[in-house]
Amino acid sequence: MRRTHIGLLLMLAGLLWGSVPISAAFPPSYDQEIRQGLYWIYHSQYDQARAVFSRISEQYPEDPAGDFFLSAADWWQLAEDLDRPSQQIEELLEEHCSRTIQKAQAAVEAATQAKTLAQAYFYLGGAYGLKGRWAVTQSQWFRAYRFGKRGVHFLRLALDYDPELSDAYLGLGIYDYYTDTLPRFQRVLARLFIRGDRQRGLEELHLVKERGRYATVEATLFLIEIYTEREHTPDRALPLAQQLRQEFPESPAMHFALMMALFHQKEWKGLREEANGYLRRIQSQAPYYTAKGMAPALYCLAMSFSQEQKDLDRAHTILTQIIETSPEPSRWVTFAYLRRGQIYDLQGKRDLAKDDYRDVLHREDVGEVHRYANQYLKRPNGWMDRD
């Protein structure tokens, strides 16, 4: 069931065309302010991040940077709670993106130097990218690609005026890669606007990872997702995830990225250790770790017991815990039903397995789980060591 986890890392970083911009107008002290705000985002402390970026916006009211960073904080918060998005945060995202676009358009008209013009185009591209990201999560494909087309156009203009603006390649790299590798129907839509290039996209993302100023973390997260979910080369993702975990040892997001890389690498012992560590941090109320991470950590723990130790009973108990205790709606409950159904099949409990597969079909389709549930209803699934 390889595709069940599509988008899990995307939940941590977003989907398409965005990047984290730089502003040549900021003095050195504000460089540290920006990095502090990003630190709060990476640790899910969104109110603290907004406080930082609001100060920037207030001190530089004509610069679109502060509002763009506010939009980025909104996006990350929505992505973290993708199963239960807040209408209030959605409205903030729209407001901050609109203000970014308005200020960036004014900056384009007022610019007298190439680098200043590049910055303005950069923010335009980033803001349209964030709008496109959210449209993707809502499956609004035409709307998403319309925003994507604008975003890519402005990012390329930014690089025309300032080829050293390396962070701009994040948005271009993601767009190039995903429009060349999305499922056929979505790819056809993308080609109505701009056709991507898989290899070029990978090169652009690696360029940002190595040379970017503020977007290196985002580029690394996208590369992890790509190598685990799409390229099926988790051996390339694991060292990237380990690097982020070392750089941000208190970040639940980076901890989870490492767990997903271990999952796809089938490093079951390492996955069990990390999942147990994650759960211990929740239970001890370690900074930044909350009950939101309980279900995904339990899911990883169940997978490690079933795959490495072949302990189906223990895995079954943990999956049942997810189903019975997780706040709804939750994709992790859906995944747990599917996996528990597979365990029932392996135990010869076909009727119970079918009940769980039917429960999957009554829930939102995430990561193609409906396709798998329908397939397993027709015939038992021999899952161990093959998924």
For position 49, which CATH number holds? Answer: 1.25.40
Residues 302 and 349 in one domain: yes
Of 195, 210, 198, 211, nearest to 163 (Cα)? 211
Residues 75 and 153 in one domain: yes
Helix axes 141-161, 114-137, angle to 10 degrees: 160
Of 371, 53, 57, 207, nearest to 381 (Cα)? 371
Residues 174 and 289 in one domain: no
Of 273, 291, 274, nearest to 282 (Cα)? 291
Spell out the residues 6+ positions from residue 176 whose beta carbon is closer than 8 angstroms to its own: 196, 197, 198, 200, 201, 204
As for how many domains the chain has, the answer is 2
Determine the Cα–Cα distance for residues 50 and 95; give it in Å rounded to an integer: 14
Q: Give the residue from 232, 257, 281 where a domain finishes.
A: 232
- Per-residue confidence in pLDDT tens, the chain, 387 aa: 544 443 433 434 333 334 444 444 445 557 889 999 999 999 999 999 999 999 999 999 999 999 999 999 999 999 888 778 889 999 999 999 999 999 999 999 999 999 999 999 999 999 998 898 788 777 787 788 788 889 999 999 999 999 999 999 998 998 889 888 877 545 555 555 556 789 999 999 999 999 998 899 999 999 999 999 999 999 999 999 999 999 999 999 999 999 999 999 999 999 999 999 999 999 999 999 999 999 999 999 999 999 987 899 999 999 999 999 998 889 999 999 999 999 999 999 999 999 999 999 999 998 789 999 999 999 987 555 445
Residues 190 and 274 in one domain: no
Q: Which residue has the tokens 């506010």?
A: 70
**Predicted local distance difference test score (pLDDT) of residue 193:** 53
**Predicted local distance difference test score (pLDDT) of residue 20:** 44
**Predicted local distance difference test score (pLDDT) of residue 8:** 39
**Predicted local distance difference test score (pLDDT) of residue 179:** 80
Determine the Cα–Cα distance for residues 123 and 68; give it in Å rounded to an integer: 7
**Predicted local distance difference test score (pLDDT) of residue 6:** 37
Of 83, 8, 1, nearest to 339 (Cα)? 1
Residues 220 and 366 in one domain: no
Kindly state whether residue 363 falls inside one of the protein's structural domains: yes
In one-letter notation, the amino acid at residue 137 is T
Q: Is there a contact between 212 and 222 (Cβ–Cβ < 8 Å)?
A: no
Q: Which residue has the tokens 């580029």?
A: 219
Residues 162 and 295 in one domain: no
Give the pTM: 0.87
Residues 200 and 310 in one domain: no
Q: Is there a contact between 203 and 173 (Cβ–Cβ < 8 Å)?
A: yes
The CA distances from residue 138 to 83, 131, 291, 299, 328, in Å, are 11, 11, 25, 25, 19
Kindly state whether residue 305 falls inside one of the protein's structural domains: yes
Residues 79 and 219 in one domain: yes
Q: Which helix (H) or strand (E) holds 318?
A: helix 312-325
Helix axes 312-325, 331-346, angle to 10 degrees: 150
Kindly state whether residue 245 falls inside one of the protein's structural domains: no
CA 324, 329, 331, 334 torsion: positive or negative?
positive
**Predicted local distance difference test score (pLDDT) of residue 174:** 86
Residues 209 and 71 in one domain: yes
First-to-final CA distance of the chain = 5
Q: Which domain holds residue 168?
A: 2-232
Residues 228 and 274 in one domain: no
